Amino acid sequence: MTIQELIRRVKAEFNYRFYNKYRFRRVVRHRLMRYYTADAPRACNEQKQVIAMFDGRKRHGGLADRLRGLATTYIFCRERGLDFRIHFVSPFRLEEYLEPNGYDWRIAPEEICYNSCDARPVYISSSNRYPERDKAFQRKMAELFFGEEYRQLHSYTNMRFEEERFGEAFHELFRPQAWLQELIDGELTKLGGAGNFLAVSTRFMESLGDFNESADRAAQALPEAEQEALLARCSEQLARIHQEHPDQPILVTSDSGRFLAYVTARHPYVCTLPGKIGHMDVAGAGEREVHTKTFLDFLVLAEAAEHFYLVGPHMYRGNFSRRAAQINNRPFHEIYF
């Protein structure tokens, strides 16, 4: 371990022991408590509720981060006998795409209490630097914050300490709406059916100049020559995967339409899904095509026999395809090059 890495670890441990709990509470005080007042209507629920909140009052992340937080919170509540609900209304209502499966998580807007005597928001974020340490800390904070004596606790979190049980939670919570399932089935037919194709995914962020993660962040595209080199290297990895699995079509998903067009033109075994690419935290309520494609990509990916995630220079190690693979417990491989 280098001196620099030792210093980073010491700083991280200091934050976990002394600072992060304060930081979480500060976010609640300065960004969320403004919506709660002592004269708001009182809570009507008799049993204590934990409500996963996606209401646009803070950035919530993409679909994978949101669902990861939902799954972890649900399992935490289920194992402690807490009434778990979901209030997902930004930038669309979750029920437009997914409906309850084994557990009814719905709650009407008028059932949500903003009286500061009865309800309190909870904020718990994630860090990728030391994941195991972060999970242990998140679990400790969940025990602390969700143990507080309020009738409603409003959860703003993408915590992941139960992420290995994501598929279990997803199937208990969700099934696609009939219209979405029809789209999924149509794409699966083109791919030869569930379990009869491979999946390759990439995340370029701003590197190829055709995707912005956030509305207020200027695109930081690579120079054109570096973009072409990166596209070629990814294409080579795709060809190598096909050589090892010559009899299976490959579904390719990406945050870059340019990459999808590039590999489709060069590899006849590549399949892509229709729709407009975008990010859930940036696209507005009117961007239905973006949100539909996000769910379609996610749920068709879940049916792949095996998943490969490409991570090259200037690329991002995301969680979208990893979570999709977890839905049906399919093999997932990261390929670094």
What gap in Å lies between CA 113 and CA 126, rounded to an integer? 26
Backbone angles phi, psi at 174, to 5 degrees: -130, 150
pLDDT for residue 213: 59
What gap in Å lies between CA 197 and CA 331, rounded to an integer? 13
Helix then strand then coil, in percent of the chain rounded to 5, is 45, 15, 40
Question: How many CB atoms lie under 10 A from the CB of residue 210?
Answer: 17
CB 80 within 8 A of CB 153: no
pLDDT for residue 282: 82
Would you write out the chain's pLDDT as a tens digit for each of its 337 residues?
799 998 899 999 999 999 999 999 999 999 999 999 999 999 999 999 999 999 999 999 999 999 999 999 999 999 999 999 999 999 999 999 999 999 999 999 999 999 999 999 999 999 989 999 999 999 999 999 999 999 999 999 999 999 999 999 999 999 999 999 999 999 999 999 999 999 999 999 999 999 765 544 445 799 999 999 999 999 999 999 999 999 999 999 999 999 999 999 999 999 999 999 998 888 777 899 999 999 999 999 999 999 999 999 999 999 999 999 999 999 999 999 9
Bridge partners for 125 per DSSP? none
What gap in Å lies between CA 75 and CA 226, rounded to an integer? 44
What gap in Å lies between CA 187 and CA 180, rounded to an integer? 11
Residues 6+ apart with CB under 8 A from 105: 74, 84, 85, 86, 173
pLDDT for residue 218: 44
Helix/strand/coil for 309: strand
What gap in Å lies between CA 304 and CA 209, rounded to an integer? 29
pLDDT for residue 285: 72
Question: Per DSSP, which regions of 89-229 are E strands?
Answer: 98-100, 119-124, 152-157, 174-176, 198-202
Peptide bond into 268 cis (omega under 30): no
All CATH 3.40.50.11350 domain ranges in the chain, comma separated: 177-336
Of the CA atoms within 13 Å of residue 47, those in its CB half-sphere come to 10
Helix/strand/coil for 25: helix
First to last CA, the chain: 24
CB 172 within 8 A of CB 102: yes
Per-residue DSSP letters for 163-180? GGGHHHHHHHHEEE-HHH
pLDDT for residue 216: 42
pLDDT for residue 283: 77
Token digits of residue 237: 């990895």
Residue whose pair of structure tokens reads 């009738």 in the numeric block: 151
CB 324 within 8 A of CB 307: yes
Total residue length of the chain:
337
The third-level CATH classification (topology) of the domain covering 177-336 is Rossmann fold (3.40.50)
What gap in Å lies between CA 18 and CA 8, rounded to an integer? 15
What gap in Å lies between CA 6 and CA 326, rounded to an integer? 33
What gap in Å lies between CA 325 and CA 301, rounded to an integer? 7
∠ CA 84-90-96, nearest 5°, is 75
pLDDT for residue 215: 46
